[in-house]
Amino acid sequence: MSHQPAFDHPLLKNHTIQMRPNYHPEGLFRDKKVGKNVEGSKPITQLWHENGRCPEGTIPIRRTKKEDLLRASSIKSYGKKNHRSVPKPKSADPEPDLINQSGHQHAIAYVEGDKYYGAKATINVWDPKIQQSNEFSLSQIWILGGSFASDLNSIEAGWQVSPDLYGDSNTRLFTYWTSDSYQATGCYNLLCSGFIQINNEIAMGASIYPISDYHSSQYDISILVWKDPKEGNWWMQFGGEYVLGYWPGYLFSYLADSASMIEWGGEVVNSESDGQHTTTQMGSGHFPEEGFGKASYFRNVQVVDDSNNLRPPKDIDTFTEQSNCYSVQLGKNNEWGNFFYYGGPGRNPNCP
């Protein structure tokens, strides 16, 4: 654990690992909350568990192979997102490229205009088809601070299918961070120094299992990211019981204080390689109108307020660049709280 990539970061040379958060928005910590599976709940499996587990005091890290690096356009760009890949709703300066932000398309719900100290959602898990290996499809939470231009701070977590990054089309748990709009800082998972992992059961970038099927069994994962008001670190929890680790507060500028925007939803890369819209799917590959069992969803969408409590988001809004290709539909009920269906097939007769 003490030899993980995070400690290559100059700011983390003398960092003492924080083994548990001081505060938790869902109530006080019991000892078993950190890194252990609570009895009676079904553990979420990752495929690598079939081959064993990690001993105490260690963490699982997905091996980077030579082939992984060779698939990247350069060693420097390996494990990084393209610049400008955050949806920018209600832009004050409508730029011509807003429709196609460097080929990234989104279908999201979002809140802004307040100070946010975290976010939570339960995300339906699918395995969208990707047209070509340099495209991806993901479903995630964004925690954002700063301006979209050059100094955006972002913490991201969810699931993704990314053949270039992982060498296959499996659906995988992932995280991302940047403190300068994806320019020089940040990366996926543990591919650079930043995120400090404390959990020895869940691996970043590992395949999630099982996956939802159309008109059949539905599976989802819960992700909670919140800021520890005492230490200022941003923690991540997977499921009801796995506290995975944290991003140290001093990786960030704006997020060292709070987030100014939270987004939930899907993102794909549309490279229009043949002059047409990609057929890469978002979510389940079906439009929101189809509903449960067919379209993908985010449910129990919540934010963490300045008292460190989870609450429903106020004035939630939606954004998509081309709703004929991928769209989003909000809903609300007692069981699912604030929820939405999102996604789509990409290219279709209305999205040429």
For the chain, the straight-line distance linking the first and the last C-alpha, in angstroms and rounded, comes to 49
Cβ distance 173 to 46 under 8 Å?
Answer: yes
> Tokens in use for 258?
């709070």
Cβ distance 4 to 12 under 8 Å?
Answer: no
Instruction: Of 297, 145, 172, give the one whose Cα is nearest residue 227.
Output: 145
Cβ distance 282 to 339 under 8 Å?
Answer: no
Which stretches does DSSP call E strand in 56-167? 104-116, 118-124, 137-145, 153-161
Main-chain dihedrals φ then ψ at residue 258, nearest 5 degrees:
-160, 170
How distant, in Å, are the alpha carbons of 155, 158, 276 from that of 222?
A: 16, 9, 35
Instruction: Of 153, 197, 159, 205, give the one whose Cα is nearest residue 47.
Output: 205
Instruction: Of 288, 292, 294, give the one whose Cα is nearest residue 329.
Output: 288
Q: Residues 201, 241, 263, 267: which is the catalytic one?
A: 267
Cα separation of 103 and 200, whole Å? Answer: 36
- In the block, tokens 């047209």 appear at 131
Identity of residue 210: P
> Tokens in use for 7?
């400690």
At 178, is the secondary structure helix, strand, or coil? strand
Q: Is 156 a catalytic residue?
A: yes
At 341, is the secondary structure helix, strand, or coil? strand
Q: Residues 135, 156, 241, 321: which is the catalytic one?
A: 156
Buried/exposed code over 157-174 (b: 16+ C-beta within 10 A; e: otherwise): bbbbbbbbbbeeebbbbb
Cβ distance 298 to 122 under 8 Å?
Answer: yes
Residues in the chain: 352
Q: Is 267 a catalytic residue?
A: yes
Indicate which residues carry an active-site annotation. Answer: 156, 267
